[in-house]
Chains A and B, each alone.
Chain A
């Protein structure tokens, strides 16, 4: 096991190295004239003075190899660059916005786990029942609806419509922005904050919840056929004990894995969700920077996302063994 962790960590280094180098290449070498892209994009014919300034500021007149060295020098010192729009450092932006994205993501994952697992479980136990059919259609629908469309629909139904029809105050959600930014214990909303939090959290959770529910259903159906389930039944255990103690625990393994792997989907939805709700986190920052072609910020934040994503994936792999002792990582034995 320790040697496996070590090997995975060692593999992580070249993977992240090449992934980040690819992004550097994509942004600063491939476009032909990156200075022009930074200064506003080739489509907009930016002022030559601005282009020259961008080229100088980012050392774009240096040979590519020197630039590449500088890029890695900066990155290894965790200096993620500066915005070309307002001179803020990406580190600053990250410090301000990352906690907000993390809070939103925590709630989305909580919703995903609770709703996804229970829907999948009920679907599997009551197979072919009406609730199973509804769940099948519902999860397919939730996976097919774009986060930005769902976000707008929720805004309309729970914020715009109630406000227009003077619903009682407690029933009105807020369409957008952060709210009072008041939190107790990092992610528990304080004051009015929950009104701002709940709709984006649901939107962010939708796709992954649907996937988790589908996975849970399949996994549980598989487990129900296993021999130890028959044994448990023949011991005369109650159906509840069979499902909860023997079934659920085993069926959860692939679902937990999915929730980890699914982190990429969450990142994708976060960009859309935060944009729709003007939630000032990393996602909406990336979207804003795309719109203003703020290349250094896009690259800086992308680096952070890639590194986080790789670490999460590693942790997911390691958690296999923790959840299922039968799995011995790194010994080539598949149980």
Chain B
């Protein structure tokens, strides 16, 4: 996560710091502000706890091969299924005799990959769309916002389910689905920031200097609009992981034997509840902790970037 993004150091959207040397150079003093942000973030114990968990999770995902005692699709030989947690199988074994601990460990890769790639896709589309609508304004803006209205009229999960039903089941399809549905709120946020920022004098100055529209949009305005995008982007990774779990649970996510946490809960199903609750408990806990960590880090970032909001 880019907590110490240099562009995020503008104290408020109203005050230009710009990323452009020569124009806003006088006004920029990013270093102390950046340190301030980190300090404020570190003062929030929940955010630090969330961030530590995410670091831990990334390490687990990177070193999954070393941590997991078995492969994610590998079955115990001889097959022991539905066995409770033991020293040999920390999280027990599932219905087909696979080691739940190994599957949860490998599952971190699936979740992080889907969460991060889907959010990147959503941010790319949302920022392009929102900044164009906000910068150009007029009928272009009206037209573009009507398009988002149409898609926002379809509840998120229904839209995701519909697209996933048609695209088939795979990790990439889920990334595409979540990216294609997740950009709508981002474009609204970016547009709102752009509408305010484009009227400021430094933008006028940049226009007077004859800079191109693309350069003004992405090098002058965007850096000042980054705060809400960073906060929303962080929380979105968590939401994407949650949605991936929901889609997997409903049977439109990745296929078995992909160790997606939501799929593991779905495969265990209500039938395991009485006899082997651990099969659903551990992947469920993994989803919960991961999403919670993203929410807490998002909250911490929001407070650290803009103390007024607290």
Contact = CB atoms under 8 A, between A and B. Distances in A.
A15 B270 contact: no
Contacts of A37: 165-166
Interface in A6-27: 11, 14-16, 18-19, 22-23, 26-27
Contact of A136 (B46, B154, B273): B46
A298 B162 contact: yes
A302 interface: yes
Interface string A147-162: 1110011011000100
Given A268-B157, A306-B153, A140 B292 contact: yes
Interface string B120-163: 00000000000000000000000000100111011111100111
Contacts of B242: 144, 146
Interface string B164-202: 011011000000000000000000000000000000000
A221 to B, nearest CB: 9
Nearest to B150: A18
B166 A26 contact: yes
A153 B162 contact: no
A153 B251 contact: no
A180 interface: no
For the residues of B in contact with A, the DSSP-based class is helix
Interface residues of A, number: 57
Contact of A153 (B153, B155, B284): B284
A229 B214 CA distance: 47
For the residues of A in contact with B, the DSSP-based class is helix
A146 B287 contact: yes
A188 interface: no
B288 A149 contact: yes
A263, A275, A313 interface centre (most CB from chain B within 10 Å): A275
Nearest to B286: A149
Contacts of B157: 264, 267-268, 271
Contact of B158 (A16, A148, A302, A313): A302
Given A148-B249, A149-B287, A267 B46 contact: no
Contacts of A155: 270, 273
Interface string B240-278: 001001100111100000000010011000100110010
A157 B213 CA distance: 59
B299 interface: yes
Contacts of B295: 140, 143-144
Nearest to B268: A152
A146 B262 contact: yes
A137 B46 contact: yes
A310 B162 contact: no
Contacts of B281: 153
Given A42-B168, A293-B165, A298-B161, 11 more contacts: A140-B299, A144-B292, A148-B249, A149-B284, A152-B265, A264-B155, A287-B251, A302-B162, A305-B158, A306-B158, A310-B153
Interface of B: 46, 146, 149-151, 153-158, 161-163, 165-166, 168-169, 238, 242, 245-246, 249-252, 262, 265-266, 270, 273-274, 277, 280-281, 284-285, 287-288, 291-292, 294-296, 299
Interface of A: 11, 14-16, 18-19, 22-23, 26-27, 30-31, 37, 41-43, 136-137, 140-141, 143-149, 152-153, 155-156, 160, 164, 175-176, 263-264, 267-268, 271-272, 275-276, 278, 286-287, 290-291, 293, 295, 298, 302, 305-306, 309-310, 313
By Cβ-Cβ distance, the 3 closest A-B pairs, closest first, are A268-B157, A149-B284, A144-B292
13 contacts: A15-B150, A26-B163, A31-B166, A37-B165, A147-B246, A152-B270, A175-B270, A264-B155, A267-B157, A275-B250, A290-B250, A298-B161, A306-B155
